[in-house]
Structure 1
Amino acid sequence: MGLTNRQNVIFKTIVEEFTRTAEPIGSKTLMNLLDFPVSSATIRNEMAALEKVGLLEKTHTSSGRIPSSKGYRYYVENLLETNLDVPMQQTLKTYFTQRHYSIDDVVSKSCDILSEMTNLTSIALGPDCEDQCLQHVQLVPVNEKSAVAIIVTNKGHTENKFFQFKEEVSTDDLKKCTDLLNDKLVGTPICQVVDRMNDIHPIMAATLVRHEVLFEAFVTAFMKFAQDRIKVSGRGNMLFQPEFSDLNRLKELMNVLENGHMIKEWTNKESNVSVRIGNRKELTQIGDCSIISAKFHYSDSEEGQLMVVGPNRMQYSKVVGLMDYMTNVIEDIFYDDKNKGGGNDE
């Protein structure tokens, strides 16, 4: 799309002012925002030209213009400039590097930080359990009524689950249970382990004294393992976005954000419109919603994803800058530098 330099500056200014104020932008407002002299008539002509090519829309309530969905895509692809001030970078890096977090803790905290700093909803997607198989199970006794289960997948992902038993369980039962699970379940896709547990339940009953206690503990653990791939933070932030003042629309969005499977279906619809931002980020538009997503690596074989969900009118430069930094922090902490495909991809 062949815009002039002046049109690009005017359009960029409109997008950034509208995302800040949620108010349609008129020619008089633009005159005060632009750093070069231009008449109100000229601005109106340029805005009409931008509207003609589909980048701006005129509202019914004022003479001002707002960016269209196509306009936001053009802005993100061609005009976006990200910036995260140094003090904020230092604060975020210090927060993570001075504490001994697990990967799940860091991803979860990153999700919380994104929602807090953008006033939008953020989502963290862990590795898909359908691509992972059980490789090893270990039970470490803590005392007679508790133990820690260590579950390892073929992709190198490790989950630690604390079991608090209702009855005392002997170390002999723990060892027999571990041996049985490793013998019968290794190689099973994580999302199918619970079904396979039901198949071996009779063997557990015949082998273990506290078979019901252990069976219930592991079924719960594997179900949680298979489901805990999605974290959502800041759902309530949508209440403060004027675009979602319609209660039915807001209720529909909240229902989606409450359900991990619905989130995946919603974000992967064929009717969605997406554009790439650099090497690993993407803008996806779903009606009046926009999603900025960024991928990161846990390891060579495990990939996760951070998302920020909000109205099409979001502060893209701030959101993208934060996501760039957060995904780089995650990889710096957990992914060997020599295996990374580069840090910031802007």
Structure 2
Amino acid sequence: MVSERSLEVLRVIVQDYVASREPVGSKSIVERHSFGVSAATIRNDMALLEEEELIAAPHTSSGRVPTDKGYRLFVDHLAEMRPLTSAQRTAIETFLGQSVDLDDVLSRTVRLLSQLTNQVALVQYPSVARSRIRHIELVALAPHRLLSVLITDSGAVEQRVIELPADLSDEDVAEIRGAINGAAAGLTLSEAASRLRDLPDALTERTRALVEPVAGALLDQIAANRQEKLVMAGAANLVRTELDFPGTITPVLEAIEEQVVLLRLFDEMATDQHGVAVSIGRENAGFGLTEASVLSSGYSAAGSDVARVGLLGPLRMDYSGNMAAVRAVARYLSRLLGDQ
């Protein structure tokens, strides 16, 4: 049975090891923290923690470092989620508030989060299962070339250049625009795709010849919007912490390249009472990330399901600060995108 003091010893071992990357011994705990007991008593507490597999010795005659199990207990019961400073909150609101569209918002989000935490930052595009088409704009670039702009109520903007078999007049473009928006505007992407497939059959022969290539291109745009994808930043932070991956950093780099792995992990992570999910070390074995931790929190945009914003890094990370940063950014994202 681990005592309350032993749990406090675990807390300082995690905090000191995260700060120094050096194994933590009983002498340094007595010198750095006010337990009011001898080093021998602290060693007894550490022996209990080691029996419970919460800490381990990386090599003979060394201090102790947290295990995966120790980090899990720390995150679940001992970590205090530090609030962000006013300067950090101002930086989030200022930097993200300057975004011009969804792509820019998410790009800025991961850049900011990686700078705040010195980890790899990840953000999942909002799921568009419930997104509706707000408007489809068609812009003539040349007599036989159009730019189609698909805008959803979640803030997504998808552009595509469409090559046409014949020249179009301004009146032709207006007619196509009216037919397309009449069929698709206000519908979910799935509903719009179905309507656009059937649309040419309901038109006159001349109008059908104009609309068919545009409708086909829009179906491709809708399919692209329905695919799940991630935006990332801060991969260079992994190189700076390579010593924290004693086995190999390769699986982590591969997971970053294979986005589907991280998307699957996001889907399986359960949030705690603070709205943050943390998956540590061996808990990620099925994803090849046994030497990494992943943190995430959910955000939502208008007309979308919940998506995730998160961090990936070594087991030795500042869980308290990183959890607070992820939650704060996720909440701000929800407010920002909900207003669009």
The normalised TM-score by structure 2 is 0.78
Give the TM-score normalised by structure 1: 0.77
Q: Give secondary structure in 2 for the equivalent of 1:189.
A: helix
Cα deviation, residue 187, structure 1? 5.2
The answer for the alignment partner of 1:332 in structure 2 is 335
Measured in 2, the distance between the counterparts of 1:59 and 1:202 equals 71
**d(CA) in 2 for partners of 1:110 and 1:166?**
35
CA distance in 2, matches of 1:22, 1:170: 68
Q: Please give the residue correspondences for 1:1-346 in structure 2 after superposition, counting only pairs within 5 Å.
A: 3-4=3-4, 6-81=5-80, 82-97=82-97, 99-129=98-128, 131-132=129-130, 135=133, 137-141=135-139, 143-144=141-142, 145-152=145-152, 156-164=153-161, 169-171=168-170, 172-173=172-173, 175-176=175-176, 179-180=179-180, 183=183, 189=190, 193=193, 207-209=208-210, 214=214, 217-218=217-218, 221-227=221-227, 229-241=229-241, 242-244=243-245, 246=247, 249-268=248-267, 276-285=271-280, 286=284, 287-299=290-302, 302-335=305-338
Match of 2:287 in 1: none
CA distance in 2: counterparts of 1:133 and 1:331, whole angstroms: 15
Gaps of 5+ in 2: 285-289
Distance 1:312 1:143, change over 3 A: same
CA distance in 2 between partners of 1:52 and 1:321 (Å): 31
* Matched positions, count: 321
Q: Which runs of 4+ in 1 moved over 6 A?
A: 195-206
What letter is aligned with 2:137?
L
CA shift in 2, pair 1:143/1:295, >3 Å = same
The verdict on how the C-alpha distance between 1:100 and 1:128 changes in structure 2, with shifts beyond 3 A counting, is closer
1:85-121 deviation digits (Å, cap 9, x = unpaired): 2222222223334x25334422331112112222211
Distance change >3 Å, CA 180–CA 44, structure 1 → 2: same
- Using the TM superposition, give the Cα deviation of residue 292 of structure 1 relative to its aligned residue in structure 2, in angstroms: 0.9
CA distance in 2 between counterparts of 1:276 and 1:211 reads: 46
CA drift at 1:124: 0.6
CA distance in 1, matches of 2:131, 2:88: 39
The percent identity for this pair of structures is 21
